[in-house]
Amino acid sequence: MEEIRIRLRHGDVLLGDGAWGTMLMQRGLRAGEPPDMACISQPGAIEEIAALYLESGAEIVTTNSFGASPLKLQMFGLAGRTEEINRKSVEAARRAVGTRAYVSASVGPTGRLLKPYGDVEAGEVQAGFERQVRALAEAGADLICVETMTDLAEAVLAVRAARAVAPAAPVMATMTFDATPRGFHTVMGVTVEQAAAGLEEAGADILGSNCGNGIETMIEIAREFRRRSRLPVAIRSNAGLPVLREGVLAYPESPGFMAERVPQLLAAGVQIIGGCCGTTPAHIAALRKTIDSSRQ
Amino acid sequence: MDILKQIAESLERGEDDPVRELTSQAVADGIAPGTILNDGLIRGMGIVGERFRLREIFLPEVLLAARAMTGGMEVLKLLLVRDKLPLGTKVVIGSVRGDLHDIGKNLVGIMLKGAGFEVIDLGTDVQPERFVDTAVAENAPLIGMSALLTTTMPAMKEVVDLVEARQLRSKVKTIIGGAAVSAEFAGQIGADAYAFDAAKAVERVKQLVG
């Protein structure tokens, strides 16, 4: 496989995968266990989900390591298994996709707030991310995916950690924004402009947004990123925000609805398109079709 | 300026030391601790909550204000105890079994503390028994549950059922919130209330046990 940064430099558009949490839930998570432990307790389920996304046309498949930083695992008394969990998350994805897709190693927020707002020191957070990324990179991840961040300081620490311990690995960094009366901000108050500048300066290769919004809002966020940075933009949209239908909660955006709007993401210059909460292999397959037909 | 107004405004700016000092000053001026609490600290935090709801400010400002509030509360705490005034009704909160999301739940905790409640936060992935056992042990009249994932919604019903089974319905109220749930769902499982967001949660909790 050609390195992902070279593909992006050539102007290629790459399709990512969809939601993991709901897919794992459907396969039964163990009570009292963080989802990341499924890498150890149910590797078969991880492989199955990765394979489903691969078959749907995904070229980038995410590892099940979103919460596998030691600071987060510590909440379950599992910090000591950081290396094992992260290594197995990459191995499971790799077994499923081989070299037919990039294995994108997920690094999510620690769930702790940095000083002065919270109780944790920047050094501790960065050291934790370094431990996680080292394990992910040594297991052969194709890129590091810092995602769902709302605090720019934490996102920057994760990107820097990746740069420090895996200098050769491409780094994608995406944050989660809300539409507010004064434009897009994360819940911590970070604008797209600040995110683009901060992440780029920290050394990210790919910027963008995941989670928190349906595809129409994501198109606007993508345009904002494009205006603020020359780096490749990645957008992984929710299938809308959950609504209640006949007493059951559902994500409203169908595969067709999302696929119809892909040309607008492409026009905005987005080069990595994927799904977040509520998206399924069917969504990814629909996105695949639209991307392929727009290439012709 | 009215010192209570100064406390509220200083709290809105998230100023630790000034809030503490102004609170001490108000006590020295002979203002009743309960008045300082309600018309100073809680009023300031209420404004912070409203501005956050409108996204005029963001989480960092809320967190700083909450911390300043804690500082002011420490000054008042001993006096409130001395005057036998309630320190604030206890409430038990947590994300339900299987749910590891805690941003929304933490926000609710901050806002409830800001409104003067004593918050016992059980964290995430909380077993139904633990919610109820804690409410009983702490003599808390309210359990607040959060769920982001649809798959964890049934765990909310288990908590409500457990409250019912232990014949605690009259003593322990239940309220639910989070992206997965709705007022309709609260009705279906027999919870006492539903709150759309952290500000609404405070309003509803006050109605239930305030």
Residues 6+ apart with CB under 8 A from B103: A187
* Whole-number pLDDT of residue A70: 97
Distance (Å, whole) CA B61 – CA B44:
12
Q: What amino acid occupies position A293?
A: S
Q: Which of residues 43-82 of A touch B (CB under 8 A)?
A: 67, 75
B149 to chain A, any CB pair closer than 8 A? The answer is yes
**Domain residue spans of chain A:** 4-295
Q: Decide if pLDDT at B38 tops 90.
A: no
pLDDT in tens, A281-295: 999 999 999 999 987
* Whole-number pLDDT of residue B100: 66
Reported confidence tier of residue B123, pLDDT bands at 50, 70, 90: confident
Reported confidence tier of residue A244, pLDDT bands at 50, 70, 90: low
Minimal C-alpha gap between A265 and chain B (Å):
26
Reported confidence tier of residue A65, pLDDT bands at 50, 70, 90: very high
pLDDT in tens, B125-182: 899 999 999 999 999 999 999 987 666 788 899 999 999 999 999 999 999 998 778 8
* Whole-number pLDDT of residue B154: 83
Mean pLDDT of all residues belonging to chain A: 94
Q: What amino acid occupies position B64?
A: L
Alpha carbon distance, N-terminus to C-terminus of chain A: 23
pLDDT in tens, A66-101: 999 999 999 889 999 999 999 999 999 999 999 999
Q: What amino acid occupies position B35?
A: T
Reported confidence tier of residue B28, pLDDT bands at 50, 70, 90: very high
B39 touches B67 (CB < 8 A): no
Domain covering A4-295: architecture: Alpha-Beta Barrel (3.20)
* Whole-number pLDDT of residue B82: 75
Position with higher pLDDT, A26 vs B16: B16
The angle subtended at Cα A273 by Cα A272 and Cα A275, nearest 5°, is: 135
Domains of chain B are 3-82 (1.10.1240.10), 90-209 (3.40.50.280)
Q: What amino acid occupies position B31?
A: I
Q: Which of residues 87-106 of A touch B (CB under 8 A)?
A: none
Using CA atoms, how far residue B49 sits from A116, A191, B43, B63, B70, in Å, is: 19, 21, 10, 11, 15
* Whole-number pLDDT of residue A31: 62
A28 to chain B, any CB pair closer than 8 A? The answer is no
For an interface test with B, give the residue of A244, A276, A280 to mutate (most B CBs within 10 A): A244
